[in-house]
Amino acid sequence: MMKKYKVTVNGTAYEITLEEMDAAEAASAPATAAAPAPSAAAPAGGETVTSPMPGTILAVNISNGSAVKKGDVIMVLEAMKMENEIMAPCDGTVSSVQVTKGASVDSGALLCTIA
């Protein structure tokens, strides 16, 4: 079943048509976007921390062997002229750090691994 909608974006009106799909059709539809792959393999059993967006690393507050608690600020990422704190997703010990201060990273890039 096709449905027509009118959408206004920045003052310009567009007419769009959407096709309704049932659950079986949606499950069999090919995926159009793949998740970005980490730039380096994580050690077995480690929790990886990836960049949520492209930017520049302003600070790295950890090193290999550092003990971290969930919520600790482990890095600062500058993106779109804003400083974003990258926090530890879990308690553990940093087993690898993949970036240095000043490094440019893409969205999904591996920043570090916490075991």
In the chain (115 residues long), the average pLDDT of successive 10-residue segments reads 81 82 67 44 70 94 93 93 93 93 94 93
Ordered by start, the domain boundaries in the chain are 47-114
101 vs 72: CA distance, rounded Å:
18
Q: What is the pTM of this model?
A: 0.59
Distances (CA, A) of 76 to 17, 57, 88, 97, 111: 43, 6, 12, 14, 11
pLDDT for res 33: 43
pLDDT for res 34: 44
Q: Domain 47-114: which CATH class?
A: mainly beta
